[in-house]
Amino acid sequence: MTDTRTPKIAIVGSGPSGCYLAQALLRSIPECEIAMLDRLVSPYGLVRYGIAADHQHTKAISRQFDRLFAHPGVRFVGNVEVGRDVSLDELRACFDAVVLATGLTRDRGLGIPGSDLDGVHGAGAIIRALNAHPDSPERLPELGSDVVVVGAGNVALDVLRFLVKGPDDYDGSDVSDTALDSYLAAPAHRVTLVSRSALPASKGDPQMLRELAQLPRATYRCVDSAEPEPGVDCELDRTAAARVDAVAALTAADRPSAPGPDVSLRFGWTPVRILGSGAVEGVELARGDAVAVVPATAVVSAIGFDPAADALSSLIAALGPDSASGRIETGLYRTGWAQRGPRGAIPENRGYARLVSDEIASDLADGSLPVVADRSGFTGLPPEVLARAIDFEQWLVLEAHERKIATPARARRKHPDHSRMAIIARGAAHTDR
Ligand SMILES: Cc1cc2nc3c(=O)[nH]c(=O)nc-3n(C[C@H](O)[C@H](O)[C@H](O)COP(=O)(O)OP(=O)(O)OC[C@H]3O[C@@H](n4cnc5c(N)ncnc54)[C@H](O)[C@@H]3O)c2cc1C
């Protein structure tokens, strides 16, 4: 039987920040018991459903997180949504501390006239479909011949890479072939990437731009971009200078011509209006007094993420971002994107997880977070929650199944139907044909 003085900690969300937090807690409070809940049958959040399907080297971080669940003090509780299957209050009644690590996944709207026209899509929605997220339609919407991508951060560059790639460029990935084929049946002829920031100050990782340059696809040019004045380059910080160099390589006259769309890069331009009656027809851009109109059949906005509409997300939205502390009130904390907002790559979540782990350890040490004897942790959850929960061994059954049914060119084939995922995880894989 569990020692009644063992701190019981629930982490809501098994994305990178939840996993880093569990790692940190095991170091700072080795005697604690951790239940990591996730609304999905599968763990790892955006590692599985956000990172681009053709970036398997980045998704490989999941192997490091797998090791967590071999620890006897850590339990995966998949298929349980806090706020739907169990309330936050019920959870708090069973655990000494609850940490929200629920991320932020709703695409931020453009907030300009025309944003609600047919043909305006969020980058997150496109990338989730390519990753076979069970909440996404299996096919992508028709994007048409002229796609405008708004934003130039890493997610925008993921979208751009997807728009220029051909059918043979996904070997070894776990892309959803249904989503991919629906795009490749009528790929874009022209793509325009629009960034408010000038190129040096834009957000994209130079490595992501270099990857585009090395891909033998698409033809790139910079259009009327706000370039740094001659001689300013030497003042740029290293990342900004690397960005400028990468775009120079991408648009170099001697870059071999390649199949795929014509891509126009417009740095320093602000989209002010999406034009069209009913559906997108173009995007009006402004830079100072200059105005330009880019014809468009679809607009993909990649300008960040917001809290969703559920109760937990509303709580997080009301608190606003806080990089200094994850403490919300006695026994309730948050970490990752739910704490500091939708910024930063996976490794950045580790430092914040350590911060919150230290806060919990210090609250336990000074008695401000009491360990209450009758809190029984996971086993105290309502019976219907225990019945629907998927444990880590069951997830491994689903994971093995996905790898088994993949074609040779794919690392895995994800099932897009969440209830089927649960059935397969419970050991009924033979029914999934
Ligand atoms: C499209 C995209 C691509 C990215 N690509 C990269 C990349 O290539 N490299 C990189 O380093 N970083 C990348 N990032 C950033 C990286 O994904 C984030 O830094 C990281 O995932 C944030 O971790 P998190 O745990 O806070 O959130 P998430 O990864 O979103 O995890 C949140 C988890 O909480 C669960 N959850 C939510 N609500 C509930 C609830 N009510 N009950 C139970 N569970 C719940 C979710 O199912 C999810 O598993 C990308 C981000 C996006 C959006």
Residue 232 has pLDDT above 80, yes or no: no
Residue 201 has pLDDT above 70, yes or no: yes
Residue 368 has pLDDT above 90, yes or no: yes
Q: Which residues of 385-398 are buried (b: 16+ CB within 10 A; e: fewer)?
A: beebbbebebbebb
Pocket test for ligand 1, best of 102, 104, 315 (most atoms within 8 A of CB): 102
Residue 253 has pLDDT above 90, yes or no: yes
Between CA 49 and CA 76 the distance in angstroms is: 18
* Choice among 1-5, 151-155, 263-267, 406-410 with the minimum mean pLDDT: 1-5
The DSSP bridge pattern shows strands 146-150 and 97-100 to be unpaired
Q: What percent of the chain has pLDDT over 90?
A: 90
Per-residue pLDDT, averaged over 78-99, amounts to 97
Q: From ligand 1's centre to the CA of 56, what distance in Å?
A: 16
| 154-164 and 206-214 helices, crossing angle to 10° | 10
Residue 338 CA, closest ligand 1 atom number: 26
Q: Which CATH number fits domain 106-305: 3.40.50.1220, 3.40.50.20, 3.40.50.620, 3.50.50.60?
A: 3.50.50.60
- Ligand 1 proximity of 250 Cβ (cutoff 6 Å): no
- Give tens-digit pLDDT for 277-332: 999 999 999 999 999 999 999 999 999 998 888 889 899 999 999 999 999 999 99
Q: What is the pLDDT of residue 271?
A: 98
- Ligand 1 proximity of 102 Cβ (cutoff 6 Å): yes
Q: How confident is the model at residue 2 (pLDDT cuts 50, 70, 90)?
A: low
Contact by Cβ (8 Å): 285, 194: yes
Between CA 60 and CA 398 the distance in angstroms is: 17
Sort residue 367 into left (φ over 0), alpha (ψ -120 to 50) or beta.
left
Q: From ligand 1's centre to the CA of 318, what distance in Å?
A: 20
Residue 233 has pLDDT above 70, yes or no: no
Between CA 40 and CA 110 the distance in angstroms is: 28
Q: From ligand 1's centre to the CA of 339, what distance in Å?
A: 12
Q: How confident is the model at residue 431 (pLDDT cuts 50, 70, 90)?
A: very low
Residue 344 CA, closest ligand 1 atom number: 19
Residue 428 has pLDDT above 80, yes or no: no
- Ligand 1 proximity of 59 Cβ (cutoff 6 Å): no
Per-residue pLDDT, averaged over 65-77, amounts to 97
Q: What is the pLDDT of residue 161?
A: 98
Per-residue pLDDT, averaged over 147-171, amounts to 98
Q: What is the pLDDT of residue 235?
A: 55
Class of domain 8-104+307-390: alpha beta
Q: What is the pLDDT of residue 1?
A: 47
Residue 55 CA, closest ligand 1 atom number: 8
Q: How confident is the model at residue 4 (pLDDT cuts 50, 70, 90)?
A: low
Q: How confident is the model at residue 226 (pLDDT cuts 50, 70, 90)?
A: low
- Ligand 1 proximity of 381 Cβ (cutoff 6 Å): no
Per-residue pLDDT, averaged over 347-362, amounts to 97
Per-residue pLDDT, averaged over 9-21, amounts to 98
Q: What is the pLDDT of residue 306?
A: 87
Q: How confident is the model at residue 187 (pLDDT cuts 50, 70, 90)?
A: very high
For residue 294, list its beta bridge partners. 283
Residue 230 has pLDDT above 70, yes or no: no
Q: Where are the domains of the chain?
A: 8-104+307-390, 106-305
- Ligand 1 proximity of 29 Cβ (cutoff 6 Å): no
Q: From ligand 1's centre to the CA of 334, what distance in Å?
A: 14
Q: From ligand 1's centre to the CA of 14, what distance in Å?
A: 9
DSSP letters for 261-315: -EEEEEET-EEEEEE-SSB--EEEEEETTEEEEEE-SEEEE-S-EE--SSHHHHH
Residue 231 has pLDDT above 50, yes or no: no
Between CA 376 and CA 378 the distance in angstroms is: 7
Give the pTM: 0.95
Supply φ then ψ for residue 84, to 5 degrees. Answer: -125, -55
Per-residue pLDDT, averaged over 125-137, amounts to 97
Indicate the DSSP class of residue 193. Answer: E
- As a whole number, the mean pLDDT across the chain is 94
Per-residue pLDDT, averaged over 47-72, amounts to 97
- Ligand 1 proximity of 313 Cβ (cutoff 6 Å): no
Q: What is the pLDDT of residue 307?
A: 83
155's tokens: 């997610």
- Ligand 1 proximity of 83 Cβ (cutoff 6 Å): yes
Between CA 77 and CA 392 the distance in angstroms is: 8
Q: What is the pLDDT of residue 216?
A: 95
Q: What is the pLDDT of residue 261?
A: 98
Residue 46 CA, closest ligand 1 atom number: 29
Name which residue sits closest to atom 51 of ligand 1, judged by CA.
Answer: 50
Q: From ligand 1's centre to the CA of 408, what distance in Å?
A: 28
Residue 19 CA, closest ligand 1 atom number: 25
